[in-house]
Structure 1
Amino acid sequence: MDPRIESRRNLLLKSGYGLGGIALSSLLGGAAMNAQARGISNPGLPRFPNFAPKAKRIIYLFMAGGPSHIDTFDYKPEMRKFHGEELPESVRQGQRLTGMTSGQKSFPCVAPMFEFERFGNHGTWVNKELLPNVAGIVDDITIVKSMHTEAVNHDPAITYINTGVQQQGKPALGAWLSYGLGSENDNMPAYIVMISRGRGQLQALYDRLWGSGFLPARHQGVKLRSSGEPVLYLNNPPGIPREARRDMLTGLGELNQVAYDKFADPETQARISQYEMAFRMQSEVPELMDVGQETAHVRSLYGDAVDTPGSFARNCLLARRMVEKGVRYVQLFHRGWDQHGSLPSKIRQQCSDIDQPAAGLIKDLKQRGMLDDTLVIWGGEFGRTIYSQGNLTKDDHGRDHHGRCFTIWMAGAGIKRGFEYGMTDDHSYNILDDTGVHIRDLNATILHQLGIDHNKLTFKFQGLDQRLTGVEEPARVVKEILA
């Protein structure tokens, strides 16, 4: 007999599965038990959520490249006074510079070259030229101006905010949610990613940013394509009816199960699971992607670009349709915010792409009664510097990366409405008080709104109980922004 099958280790392993199944059945409760009762194949972990959640789902509008907080939300009239002056060393404080500006001899401050105005009941400063539609929803959102990160370059920074660490190989936030909370709709993945292309300099986006890391592979994000088939090979080949596809997958599943029984490789289980998911998605995805089913009123909320496949506007509408169908986490990456030069014209183009769709998404969710339990997040991996990169002219200057402070906004699902949090100095360069929000704190707060204690969502790997919020530095839930 093959020793790989009946070794003492495998015998104990198989026995352990049986005992583990008995133990698991006694522990299952809450959402996991409900999901199993509904026949959901990915019900999440027992006892998750840990407490009553405010959010059932998340839409994360990720502005890849680092939007300038100075030119959007963190405006101060004093900036006009020191335009063109050298950034004081007392403000800069020997900050680590990127390779793009480390050779500069001077660091002249450049004020925003746009008109700002106060909006909403709170009198929130917003760039009225670039973001008139978002300005119209400030009473529905919280603007956090004191975000900060240690990363100063794109790849570690975007890896950091998406996975909780700067090093590659860890699970993304959406993968953690799929692992901990599971799926609401067995015909759709728990975690979906869509990418739109902006009109500025494009930073690379790698599949590992929505990967499962050390978690089982079935928890990784599914990226939908902007043209052609949303998912490659999802449809049956010509001449192959659905019944034949079902028979083929059944046979393939049996062969994979034989392999799993022999070697107990978890990747084999993931393969079986993903084949079955693809088959189930065939019945859901085509209708889901058909935005023509929406009324003219709803489509108008997102702007004319909603009719363009792959646009940010269309992806926002698709995101709403997906969370309405039970997708747990939808992340929209919009590329093009890395504005080291020609910032005045390029940021205008970027904001033109996202202003109406982002505001329209909030309005759409609100009128459907979904904003109360849908958490929407807008932001990038860091902000931009007050000092100029390149020529200090009206159209040619840019801004370098800045992680000491940057701005995001959040809406829905127990987040305060019409609120600002965090204070920076007159140069929008340093956080002034103890209101700093590290990206670990942001992730802890996101998990909290989903009913998860971030210290309890763990996975044993490399001898540590790994967490989204890390194992080295503490993270806090930012309760000041919670309603």
Structure 2
Amino acid sequence: MCDGHDTLRSNNKDLQQVEKQWDRRNFLTKTSLGLGALALGSLMNPQKTFASLAAGGSDNDAVNSILKNQLGLPHHVPKAKRIVYLFQSGGPSQLDMFDYKPKLKDMYGKDLPASVRKGQRLTGMSADQTTFPIAPTIMDFQQYGESRAWVSELMPHLAEVVDDLCFVKSMQTDAINHDPAITFMQTGNQLPGRPSIGSWLSYGLGSDNENLPTFITLVTKNMPGQPLYSRLWGNGFLPTEHQGVQFRSGKDPVLFLSDPENYDGHDRRKMLDYLGKLNNLQHDAYGDPEIQARMAQYEMAFRMQTSVPEVTDMSDEPDYIFDLYGKDSREPGTYAANCLMARKLLEKDVKFVQLYHQGWDQHIGCPEGVRAQCKRTDQANAALIKDLKQRGMLEDTLVIWGGEFGRTVYSQGQLTKTDYGRDHHPKAFTMWMAGAGVKPGFTYGKTDDFSYNVVENPVHIHDFHATLMHLFGIDHEQLTFKHQGRRFRLTDVHGKVVKDILT
């Protein structure tokens, strides 16, 4: 291989020119700190060791500075070590689930006052309506737990864990249609092309498990609804090693990971070693960082051939765990099974696990649709909270539930005493969080009597992202990436940490 290496160099004029320019002084100046830090990281578990240094395990400011600059360490002591984001695609109706408005019962069918709508943008589905009849929920609400949180009859299991939840009832977004809204929620921008939340965390903090991706996505199988695109968990302009990896149900959880038929893989290690040498030649010649990112992906795929079958094997789970998550948890690819899989991945120190569940877009038949969705998800949501808590993991695991926007108080289409539809509503909706660093048994923010406008403590998507990053020890204004001549960040030029919901 060395002879081939020398031959390649002798025939490559570009490479010869690069080597002439790369004198001893430049080499020592540009690589001493970086290679030194990387070598140190390769000799130990980098995240756990370096995190302890950043948290005060060492009084050597110079070392801490190097580690932060080279390896993206936290800016302050983090509360969260890992996160599971239960994304409910389509826009769950806050009025039928969490945001209880009893006065609406006396306003059934009346036109929503223009003074409430305030000329806000409407979707194409209801922009031509001449009236906006108020549709009170038909669901019964009760208060639960010591926190006395309001929860509808649709979620009896979640009602059991309300004292572990932090409800944010004053969420706001700028987007009114699904694709820009979900893109905004996942990437901080309504236009495609930006890195997702999980990719930013991977870029900033790296991995705690060398044998599994930092960022893994699970999608409920066979669910209708608004389409989901891989760019929602994509890396955007960040190196490709930070993109989310989708795990699927079935024989091959990760596409193209298994060896081809009739190949036993005995020489795969040797093949990757030779491929690495060739890629190093390319990197030496052109300095393209994407070459190193692709090499890292090859190596991760090699390790995943062993680690993925192990972590996706459910045979070691006892019956009481399946009973906790519900009967659907025994069927791979269901929402309940994905919640259980998420817990297994979090146990393996996967930093970001993203679940997507479609079907919350109830323009018609809202009561029936929301009821069916809650039946699919309620027990599993509560089970995940209970399971993490009983394992001592909830204290450093952040759990998030929510969609891309909420639903309107007025009915879209026919309104009856038992049926109504709700359009998209970006200006007021509910999310909940639990675990690492957020106040348990707490409700933040308030909407008006119509759940149409926020009247207390608004929380914009940029604020939500800033707070999430803060819980992981990251100053959202400092974690940036230079692309096309400017520095980008998840929160763009906006966002403030919502300190009132933090412990």
Q: What TM-score, normalized by structure 2, do the two folds share?
A: 0.90
| Aligned-partner residue type, residue 211 of structure 1 | G
Match of 1:257 among 276, 280, 286: 280
Q: List gaps (5 residues or longer) in structure 2.
A: 1-10, 51-66
CA contact (8 A) 1:459 1:467 kept: yes
Match of 1:452 among 465, 469, 474: 474
Q: Secondary structure at the match of 2:97?
A: coil
Q: Deviations over 1:112-165 (max 9, x none)?
A: 11111111112111112x111111110001000000011001111111111111
Greater displacement, 252-261 / 309-318: 252-261
Could you tell me how far 1:462 is from its partner in structure 2? 2.5
CA contact (8 A) 1:65 1:202 kept: yes
Q: Provide the aligned length of Structure 1 versus Structure 2.
A: 477
CA contact (8 A) 2:112 2:134 kept: yes
1:247: which partner in 2? 270
**C-alpha root-mean-square deviation of aligned residues, in Å?**
2.5
Greater displacement, 25-34 / 205-214: 25-34
Q: How does 1:74-89 map to 2 (within 5 A)?
A: 74-89=99-114
1:481: which partner in 2? 501
Match of 1:333 among 347, 353, 356: 356
Q: Percent identity?
A: 51
Which protein has the larger Cα radius of gyration, Structure 1 or Structure 2?
2
CA contact (8 A) 1:29 1:47 kept: no
Q: Secondary structure at the match of 1:55?
A: coil
Q: List gaps (5 residues or longer) in structure 1.
A: none
Greater displacement, 360-369 / 283-292: 283-292
Take 1:261 and 1:29, find their aligned partners in 2: how far apart are those partners?
A: 18
Match of 1:372 among 375, 392, 395: 395
| Aligned-partner residue type, residue 289 of structure 2 | P
| Aligned-partner residue type, residue 85 of structure 2 | Y
Take 2:39 and 2:444, find their aligned partners in 1: how far apart are those partners?
A: 37
CA contact (8 A) 1:32 1:44 kept: no
Could you tell me how far 1:323 is from its partner in structure 2? 0.9
Take 2:12 and 2:266, find their aligned partners in 1: how far apart are those partners?
A: 36
| Aligned-partner residue type, residue 479 of structure 1 | K
1:194: which partner in 2? 218
1:409: which partner in 2? 432
Take 1:394 and 1:131, find their aligned partners in 2: how far apart are those partners?
A: 22
Take 1:366 and 1:286, find their aligned partners in 2: how far apart are those partners?
A: 26
Which of the pair is proportionally richer in helix? 2
1:48: which partner in 2? 73
2:310: which partner in 1? 287
Could you tell me how far 1:15 is from its partner in structure 2? 7.4
Take 1:392 and 1:272, find their aligned partners in 2: how far apart are those partners?
A: 58
2:146: which partner in 1? 121
Could you tell me how far 1:28 is from its partner in structure 2? 7.7
Match of 1:94 among 119, 125, 130: 119
Take 2:107 and 2:204, find their aligned partners in 1: how far apart are those partners?
A: 50
Q: Secondary structure at the match of 2:182?
A: helix
1:356: which partner in 2? 379
| Aligned-partner residue type, residue 173 of structure 2 | T
Take 1:31 and 1:335, find their aligned partners in 2: how far apart are those partners?
A: 40
Take 1:57 and 1:16, find their aligned partners in 2: how far apart are those partners?
A: 39
Q: Secondary structure at the match of 2:95?
A: coil
Cα distance, 1:273–1:83 mapped onto 2, change above 3 Å:
same
Take 2:357 and 2:83, find their aligned partners in 1: how far apart are those partners?
A: 17
Could you tell me how far 1:16 is from its partner in structure 2? 5.7
| Aligned-partner residue type, residue 260 of structure 2 | P
CA contact (8 A) 1:54 1:449 kept: yes
Q: Secondary structure at the match of 2:107?
A: coil
Cα distance, 1:38–1:55 mapped onto 2, change above 3 Å:
closer
Could you tell me how far 1:397 is from its partner in structure 2? 2.2
2:14: which partner in 1? 4
CA contact (8 A) 2:225 2:359 kept: yes
Cα distance, 1:353–1:436 mapped onto 2, change above 3 Å:
same
Q: Deviations over 1:209-231 (max 9, x none)?
A: 11111110100000111223001
Q: Secondary structure at the match of 1:292?
A: coil
Q: Deviations over 1:302-329 (max 9, x none)?
A: 1000011110100001111001101000
Take 1:67 and 1:48, find their aligned partners in 2: how far apart are those partners?
A: 36
Could you tell me how far 1:396 is from its partner in structure 2? 4.6
Cα distance, 1:16–1:207 mapped onto 2, change above 3 Å:
farther
1:205: which partner in 2? 228
Cα distance, 1:276–1:31 mapped onto 2, change above 3 Å:
closer
| Aligned-partner residue type, residue 459 of structure 2 | V
Could you tell me how far 1:17 is from its partner in structure 2? 6.5
Q: Secondary structure at the match of 2:430?
A: strand
Take 1:14 and 1:108, find their aligned partners in 2: how far apart are those partners?
A: 76
Alignment pair present for 1:418 and 2:441: yes
Cα distance, 1:422–1:193 mapped onto 2, change above 3 Å:
same
CA contact (8 A) 1:63 1:378 kept: yes
Match of 2:183 among 159, 167, 171: 159
